[in-house]
Amino acid sequence: MEQIHILQNEHFIKKFAVGKHSLRCVSLINLSSGSEYVKEPFWLFRFALDEQLLASWPQNEDQGTSAAQLRLQDIKTWDEGVEFLYHCQELSVCVRYKTSPELPGYEKNIVIKNLGTQPCTISRLDFDNACFCPGNFGDCDFYSGQEDSPRPPCFVLNSQEDLLRCHNPQLNEGWLLGSSAPGLLRHVMVYPHWQRISLGYNRSSAPFARQLQGGEEFQSASSFLSLYKGGLQDKRAVSNFRSMIRKSLPPLPVPEGGMYCTWLPFTKNINEELSLQLIDQACRLGMRYFVLDDGWFTANDHAVDLDKFPKGLEALAERCRQNHMTFGLWHNIGTSYGLSRPNPDWISMNADGTSKRLGENQALANPVMCLGSEYREFILQKLSNLCAKYKLGYFKLDFSSVSSPYEILPWGCHATEHEYHQGWHDSFSAMYEGMLFVREELKKRFPDLIVDFSFEAFGCQAPSIAALQYSELHHVSNLSGNEPALQNIWRLRRGFYAWLGKLPPERILNGLLTLQNDRAAEYFLTGLAGAPLYAGDLRRLNEEQTQKIQCYSRVFNQLAADGPLTEFEVLLDQPDLDGFMRYANAGRGFVCMFNRGEQRARFELPPGFKAHNVENGSTATSLPPKSCAMFKLQA
């Protein structure tokens, strides 16, 4: 006998059929349109327990559990969510839904706990199924990613994409769906005729497996569903989805602000005198952070290079404090770089028993350290010591361990005696969990520290929900425009527009834009599309460029002081004219416009907005040829 349980707010109603041995979805109504989305009931989770497949709703013996294996224990409800607790053999499975009254959707995950004394292994895990749509599946279009790339009616995605959209153009409504499974572990399958639009973990090229010891529990990644009524360009749909993702992210301990990083053009050619000059110049430009990148330590266990920094790093930390800036530091966590004698018991292994190495020249490349080994405790202590010594406010944690965004590193670890995994099959989950362990333990010790696993550490040169959950700010790329003949700033900006399509812009450090040429003002404004990150030889800026950047920075800092600028919108993207808006829901924000044409260009603001040029106060929404400008919004 089943009972109907309802999860709802003013935007949607979702109904579950809850049985003594099963859990399934039977209805989902979008209250904005009144449409029923569920055509047939479907299961809500599946996984293998020691190779035996278990499902929340067993439809037949070879695809799911027998009717006796799931046993309902409890249902807990509260104002903004529900939990369904089942036991299965010696496991508990808790299915969690969390809503917000203002948002048309929910976050879902499951928690699996080993109630016995013997270890067991879970694999082939799908933590959600969203097999529903407005109208008929045959009338719907599917899209993936930040840019809504069209997809066929049936498809599978691994690793890269974490966002889906289902849209019915006749009914003009649909849903957005996201997965927080990290990197290589991510798996999405859209096969509606198999009653499956599933979010889960990889079971092929980078398989997920997790051994649970007696009493141990595992919390899955989350799915995020947001319903909407409107067209593909509807701003509310994206804003609601962003808000839902934002609620799952670690809080930012400080307001937004510009970040300067020493990597380009200096790379490792950095020293104390140069760093102090750059700190002063970054402060003059209104930057909030100064980050010392690679080149500050020796191969003697990351000891400070006293030839370059004769006073240690204390002089830099103190200069940052004097300038009311946050001192940040780059550190390698992925390889043995900087270690004089890396512990061989912590090194990632290839299938042939050789050490995994990061780099094209394998004879000289550094071994990769496995975060599924006790190396995670070692690197945590090293980072903690640095935080305490220099009162750091930001860590850029770099170098690949799980995978490389450049595809030059074999995936996973084949070692069989590491502390947190038994072999290649479960190394991926162990290595990602190692990253989270480092982050969470650092935050316990230093609550105001901003932890950033860079795109190299995370293994993907594109933002994702998981990458943002692992980091307060996420460094997405080293795209810089440092050599304009190779990297055109307009094309970089268009790439940033794509990355900022549906995720919170205030968390995404798009690239290392170099402020050092006669287009530095354009580079600076481009950086404001996301969390602003800059590089470059700031000493080369002329006074005109410096004054422009100071003006833009002052306006941005004033706006950010009142709270994050959560919304991003591309106003125009034309061959000679492009621009974007960043603003908070109340209308507080700015517009940046870029005119590459030979004529004066005009643009229009969305209804309800006015703006004035921050340099001259003009309310004319236009700009001269070959120029850029910043406009402060007035709702």
Give the type of residue at 226.
S
The total of other beta-carbon atoms located within 10 Å of residue 602's CB is 12
Beta carbons of 442 and 383 less than 8 angstroms apart: yes
Cα–Cα distance measured from residue 223 to residue 198, given in angstroms and rounded to the nearest whole number: 10
Q: Where are the domains of the chain?
A: 3-247, 336-466
The average confidence (pLDDT) of the chain is 95
Residue 62's pLDDT band (cuts 50, 70, 90)? very low
Quick one: tokens of 204? 């092929």
Report the pLDDT value the prediction gives residue 60, as an integer from 0 to 100.
Answer: 52
Among candidates 243, 249, 251, which has minimal Cα distance to 226?
243
Helices (runs of H) and strands (runs of E) counted in the chain: 11, 40
Cα–Cα distance measured from residue 314 to residue 301, given in angstroms and rounded to the nearest whole number: 18
Beta carbons of 634 and 589 less than 8 angstroms apart: no
Residue 589's pLDDT band (cuts 50, 70, 90)? very high
The total of other beta-carbon atoms located within 10 Å of residue 171's CB is 17
Among candidates 105, 100, 83, 102, which has minimal Cα distance to 92?
83
* CA 63 to centroid of chain Cα atoms: 34
Beta carbons of 83 and 96 less than 8 angstroms apart: yes
**Residue 511, CA atoms < 13 Å, CB-side half-sphere:** 27
Cα–Cα distance measured from residue 511 to residue 516, given in angstroms and rounded to the nearest whole number: 15
Cα–Cα distance measured from residue 97 to residue 503, given in angstroms and rounded to the nearest whole number: 21
Report the pLDDT value the prediction gives residue 63, as an integer from 0 to 100.
Answer: 52
Angle at 394 between CA 162 and CA 554, to 5 degrees: 95
Residue 262's pLDDT band (cuts 50, 70, 90)? very high
Q: What is the mean pLDDT of residues 547-562?
A: 97
pLDDT tens-digit readout, 1-12:
789 999 999 999
Beta carbons of 536 and 501 less than 8 angstroms apart: no
By percentage, how much of the chain surpasses pLDDT 70?
98
Does the structure show a pLDDT above 60 at 65? no
Does the structure show a pLDDT above 80 at 66? no
Beta carbons of 192 and 133 less than 8 angstroms apart: yes
What is the DSSP pairing of strand 366-367 with strand 12-18?
A: unpaired
**Residue 520, CA atoms < 13 Å, CB-side half-sphere:** 25
Q: What is the mean pLDDT of residues 392-421?
A: 95
Question: Can you state the percent helix, strand and coil of the chain, rounding each to 5?
Answer: 20, 35, 45
**Interhelix angle 543-560/520-527, nearest 10 degrees:** 10
Positive or negative: CA dihedral 418, 422, 424, 428: negative
Beta carbons of 205 and 114 less than 8 angstroms apart: no
Helices (H), 446-542: 455-458, 465-470, 489-499, 520-527
Quick one: tokens of 563? 């709270």
The total of other beta-carbon atoms located within 10 Å of residue 23's CB is 23
Report the pLDDT value the prediction gives residue 58, as an integer from 0 to 100.
Answer: 80
Beta carbons of 107 and 100 less than 8 angstroms apart: no
> What global pTM score does this model have?
0.96
Does the structure show a pLDDT above 80 at 635? no
CATH topology of domain 3-247: Beta-galactosidase; Chain A, domain 5 (2.70.98)
Q: How many residues does the chain have?
A: 635
Beta carbons of 382 and 318 less than 8 angstroms apart: no
Cα–Cα distance measured from residue 327 to residue 168, given in angstroms and rounded to the nearest whole number: 49
